[in-house]
Structure 1
């Protein structure tokens, strides 16, 4: 029993650390003057390097490489597409807008799994998904006629790519998570080098970008390790800690005040994400995995 308790506490701590680290993405992006593609290059190079080193130290690199097939390539490509939108979204919109739109990813994945895998979710998940979509609409409505609309659109595209990755892992749970993350970063390096003069990054910002890659590699690893120790629903619930943390950090460090539509839309999305995690009252039937939003085994590197 003590072993189970210690494993559970370790899982809770790992997921909480992961959420806290992931919430710093907007701070890193907004705190440097480097262009989006320059950030993508150096953060991706660092994240891939640290992830591959982790797999090598764990003796898992060769094993994951042996099973890296077309399914893993599809996940890596979706991850690369999401990463290509991830950094520009923060550059073009507020940290709060991007974080709150991204919070709808698990519910978007539940809807996608319904369409693609015919995995019918519970009624409350469908209602929550509709509410989350409405919350995204409220946030985006506040950006109409402003420069942040493009950033919101990129955040929505990023969210859809993440939903695709979650659905792929639902369909193919045996596909490894770490190596596709590293490969998706490597796929973007040639494009980033063509899109921007990546060698011209300010000297003082290069360590920040390498640290950015390191913390994201650490966050991805802690998420994967924590998810192995907790039920999927609890993982999704704890991961939602990232959503309020990101705007809070942006307010404390960048003095970025969210607008009224961001606050209202964010409240709707957070309610929609957290509500399905509550188990049905007096329900004795076995839990249907489709009743819960899909937990994320990886994040954009």
Structure 2
């Protein structure tokens, strides 16, 4: 029960990303800069706490694999924040929900992992939903944001595949370093100090929410099966849409809702089948 509560809470906190991004007047690079600093610092504190008996010498070593993960994560984060600035919160959340299916395709291409029939069917249904959303956005000035969301989704999917490939790499520590890389990059290409006090408070809250969601997910996923964690993680999408409607009065067009419904149907059905299969396997003597 504790694991379920932690992962569900993580999904809710992650769902605030779109609202926080659109509420901050700063540009995407500045947002990434401060979000990366606050989030990266807090996740680093969490890593230190988990390894408090080992001391500084016991900190995990990234190696080139960890640095690669951190770099990919930073690039995906830039596309993620930029997408929210250029399209509906619902569109970004729904397109991102297809990441597991993109990861399955990349896993087949890069690792020669077998793709199940149910995954292929869910991927096709998701692709149809995303295509409907992107096509509907061509006449509204939103296709650039949808394209950025697709880039972010592909980057996140590649991150998932490499995490499976590099099983001995400290993923949480790589996430902290990714945030710190965004902070350094932001100082080099923009002026992060040129923000209002209002934006400063929101940026701090954004960094805290990012770190909190990451820690909640990490701790919750340790306590429940992977299939159940994946199913609960998909709750991020309805949370994001709900928060966008409540706090931004942002209601996407009908085509986005229909396309999003197809994606959600595919994600929930796919994760639900995995969850049922996992429970049946546990129930067997």
TM-score norm. by structure 1 comes to 0.87
Partner of residue 106, structure 1: 100
- CA deviation vs aligned residue, 1:267-297 (integer Å, no higher than 9, x gap): 11111111222348x989x97xxxxxxxxxx
Contact 2:97 2:263 in 1 (8 A): yes
Partner of residue 55, structure 1: 47
Alpha-carbon distance between aligned partners in 2 of 1:200 and 1:283, rounded to the nearest angstrom:
52
What 5-or-longer segments of structure 2 have no aligned partner?
none
* One of 60, 64, 76 as aligned partner of 1:82: 76
Alpha-carbon distance between aligned partners in 1 of 2:227 and 2:57, rounded to the nearest angstrom:
28
Shift of 1:226: 1.1
Change in 2 beyond 3 A, CA 1:233/1:49: same
Change in 2 beyond 3 A, CA 1:283/1:22: closer
* One of 117, 120, 138 as aligned partner of 2:114: 120
Contact 2:37 2:182 in 1 (8 A): no
* One of 3, 12, 21 as aligned partner of 2:4: 12
Change in 2 beyond 3 A, CA 1:49/1:124: same
- CA deviation vs aligned residue, 1:12-37 (integer Å, no higher than 9, x gap): 01100100000000110111211111
1:245-256 matched pairs, under 5 angstroms: 245-256=239-250
1:38-187 matched pairs, under 5 angstroms: 38-59=30-51, 62=56, 65-187=59-181
Q: Which structure has more helix as a fraction of its residues?
A: 2
Shift of 1:59: 2.2
Shift of 1:58: 2.5
Partner of residue 3, structure 1: none
Alpha-carbon distance between aligned partners in 1 of 2:57 and 2:128, rounded to the nearest angstrom:
43
Shift of 1:111: 1.4
Alpha-carbon distance between aligned partners in 2 of 1:147 and 1:246, rounded to the nearest angstrom:
21
Give the alignment's Cα RMSD to 1 decimal: 2.1
Alpha-carbon distance between aligned partners in 2 of 1:153 and 1:197, rounded to the nearest angstrom:
26
Contact 2:48 2:59 in 1 (8 A): no
Alpha-carbon distance between aligned partners in 1 of 2:179 and 2:173, rounded to the nearest angstrom:
10
Mean Cα deviation higher: 46-55 or 64-73: 64-73
- CA deviation vs aligned residue, 1:190-233 (integer Å, no higher than 9, x gap): 32123322111101220110111011101001111111111111
Alpha-carbon distance between aligned partners in 2 of 1:236 and 1:107, rounded to the nearest angstrom:
12
Contact 1:114 1:120 in 2 (8 A): yes
Contact 1:99 1:247 in 2 (8 A): yes
Shift of 1:170: 1.6
Shift of 1:63: 6.9
Alpha-carbon distance between aligned partners in 1 of 2:162 and 2:58, rounded to the nearest angstrom:
17
- CA deviation vs aligned residue, 1:66-90 (integer Å, no higher than 9, x gap): 4311211111111011011111110
Q: Please tell me whether residue 213 in structure 1 is matched to residue 207 in structure 2.
A: yes
- CA deviation vs aligned residue, 1:219-256 (integer Å, no higher than 9, x gap): 00111111111111111100000101101111111100
Q: How many pairs are equivalent?
A: 278
Change in 2 beyond 3 A, CA 1:164/1:17: same
**1:199 aligned counterpart, secondary structure:** coil
Partner of residue 193, structure 1: 187
Alpha-carbon distance between aligned partners in 2 of 1:58 and 1:40, rounded to the nearest angstrom:
26
Partner of residue 25, structure 1: 17
Alpha-carbon distance between aligned partners in 1 of 2:162 and 2:173, rounded to the nearest angstrom:
15
Alpha-carbon distance between aligned partners in 2 of 1:221 and 1:100, rounded to the nearest angstrom:
23
Change in 2 beyond 3 A, CA 1:86/1:283: closer
Shift of 1:64: 7.1
